[in-house]
Chains A and B, each alone.
Chain A
Amino acid sequence: MSATIRNLEGNEACALGAIRAGCRFFAGYPITPSSEVAEVMSRELPKVGGTFIQMEDEIASMGAVIGASMGGVKAMTATSGPGFSLKQENLGYACGAEIPCVIVNVMRGGPSTGMPTRPAQGDIMQARWGTHGDHAIIVLAPASVAEAYSETIRAVELSETLRVPVVVLLDEVIGHLTETVDLSAVPETPEVWRKFATGPRAGFQPYAVTEDLIPPMPRPGDGYRAHCTGLTHAPGGFPTQVPEVATAAVTRTTDKLALHRERIESWRVQDADDADLLIVAIGISARAARQAVRDLRTEGLRVGLFRPVTLWPFPEEALRDIVARSGAKAVLVPEMNQGQLVLEIERVLAGKAPALRLNRIDGQPITPDEIADRAREALK
């Protein structure tokens, strides 16, 4: 066995991926089923000169992560639903002030403290819209341990280069799943950093409108004067309520993601080209769908899978293309909630194909057989 092939747990893979991408600060408050991310970080970060802090609560953890990132360090935290709810205010600050940071959210049963050790996928909408106001945010949804590793690396890189908070959204099954993975499958690439401010200090604008819509960040100690606030701010960094300036400020952050959409979006397809029925799923539900597609194909049924790896912004053009190309008669959306992802699919497809639902909220994963049964029924 090569040294890079290991049995890794999903949560552990998130921690190791973050460290590989250069994350050197973690602040968190342990919560099932995400605690192993903090545990591994507490052990591994000091070895690479990084800092681990167990904070007094979830809110403070998010605050510490933002502060560390503003201080010029790549920073991450990890949590689950109840903690993710508490983090929303500070997460909103990070969105508004465009502070790079990564938040791992391992979904468990909800609402409230729900079912701590049971899986769910009920935070799909919260991950996008949990904090108030129009804001830019990226959400990545790994469906395997190998992907928990590679997507956390990508999360750090996207958050750095685009100055945007990135959520790595796992369900409890993927977070606590151990799989044999080859860490060398992710090619070695140069470390990615945010764009730091260069040039004259006089007249420096911390939220300057650049061609790429990503304002360079001042590196602490470089001598740039910068004001950072959660209040809607003009390019100079100070608060504004001037209607056109406020519109431009918020619009730039959302336009920024639209401009770099190609770099952000990621998805996988399986047997989709000729699918009469296309399944759309994330996380463990996507793994069940993968098996269901394989089983159904052996029966001669034309069923395929579209799996958004970038969940938000949703890779909408890709889905529309595949549905148009395959001529799929319907789309089936298995998810461990009462129907969240399906709402986005309905929006994207705008009636071009009906979106069928398959939901479970009992703390048990959806099985391949359940998906296969529902697919057979739909294709009758």
Chain B
Amino acid sequence: MATTEIRFSGSGGQGLLLSARILAAALALQGRNVAQSNAYEPVSRGGLSRSDLVISEGEADFPLARRLDYLLILDLAGLGVSDHLLSPRSVVLADAELVPDPPRGDFRTLALPFAETARSLGNPRVTNIVALGTLCALSELCPPELLLERVLAMTPAKFDRLNRDAFAAGQAMAVHEPA
């Protein structure tokens, strides 16, 4: 069964599971079948945290990631644990500051300033939303306005403006990347 597979990885507390849940909700609204799975440590902050999306026609045979199309790494904790799932079809999006030495090989690796951008917008907690904007623009998996609408619906209203800015900044980052 043909699948599109995305992994959000980093450290517990970075909002990776939430980001995956938001993207999954947007994809479901478009009538896509999505399987989302998570792995995290029994601590409230820190440790490896990851969430995978497997997008398929109909229910996926195997709902967990096997060959990633997109790998997002937002923290050192996410480094090295997904290398066996990378292939020439993969695109790696790593935070330029938090992941100084991202995986490189016969696939595309982009080191982008997600955390720095979030900080410049006033809150490092929206690093995940910046990255989501970039992922959306690069992958063209769903219309950005639909995804942003889900971001706003699934996060506290007091962060609406910040999330809008973060999402837009993430999208802009993708535009500047050569295809």
Residues of A near any B CB (own CB < 8 A): 1, 5-7, 32, 116-117, 144, 146, 173, 176-180, 284, 287-288, 290-291, 294, 365, 367-369
Contact = CB atoms under 8 A, between A and B. Distances in A.
Contacts of B63: 144, 173, 177, 179, 284, 287
A290 B42 contact: no
A368 B62 CA distance: 8
Contacts of A32: 42
7 contacts: A1-B31, A7-B36, A144-B59, A177-B36, A179-B35, A180-B33, A291-B62
Contacts of B41: 117
Given A117-B39, A294-B61, 18 more contacts: A1-B28, A1-B30, A5-B31, A7-B36, A116-B42, A117-B42, A173-B37, A178-B24, A178-B34, A178-B37, A179-B33, A179-B35, A180-B35, A284-B64, A287-B60, A287-B63, A288-B62, A368-B62
A270 B175 CA distance: 45
Contacts of A173: 37, 63-64
Contact of A176 (B25, B30, B38): B38
Interface centre among B24, B35, B66 (most CB of A within 10 A): B35
B7 interface: no
Contacts, number: 73
A146 B61 CA distance: 13
Interface string B48-88: 00000000000111111010000000000000000000000
Nearest to A294: B61
A261 B32 CA distance: 38
B28 A5 contact: yes
A263 to B, nearest CB: 26
B1 interface: yes
Interface string B12-29: 000000000100110011
Contacts of B1: 291, 294
A274 to B, nearest CB: 20
Nearest to A113: B42
B64 A6 contact: no
Nearest first, the 4 A-B pairs at minimum CB distance are A291-B62, A178-B36, A291-B61, A290-B61
B113 to A, nearest CB: 30
Nearest to A9: B36
A180 B64 CA distance: 14
Nearest to B29: A1
B99 to A, nearest CB: 23
B24 A368 contact: no
B22 to A, nearest CB: 11
A291 B28 CA distance: 22
A71 B47 CA distance: 46
A179 B61 contact: no
Interface centre among A116, A179, A288, A291 (most CB of B within 10 A): A179
Contacts of A369: 66
A146 B34 CA distance: 13
Most chain B CB within a 10 A radius of its CB, from A5, A6, A178, A284: A178
Nearest to A365: B64
Given A1-B28, A7-B25, A116-B42, A180 B34 contact: yes
B33 A290 contact: no
Contacts of A287: 60-64
B59 to A, nearest CB: 6
A120 to B, nearest CB: 14
A5 B66 CA distance: 26
A6 B37 contact: no
A135 B25 CA distance: 44
A368 B67 CA distance: 12
Contact of B66 (A144, A176, A290, A367): A367
Contacts of A6: 28
A144 B31 CA distance: 18
Contacts of A116: 42
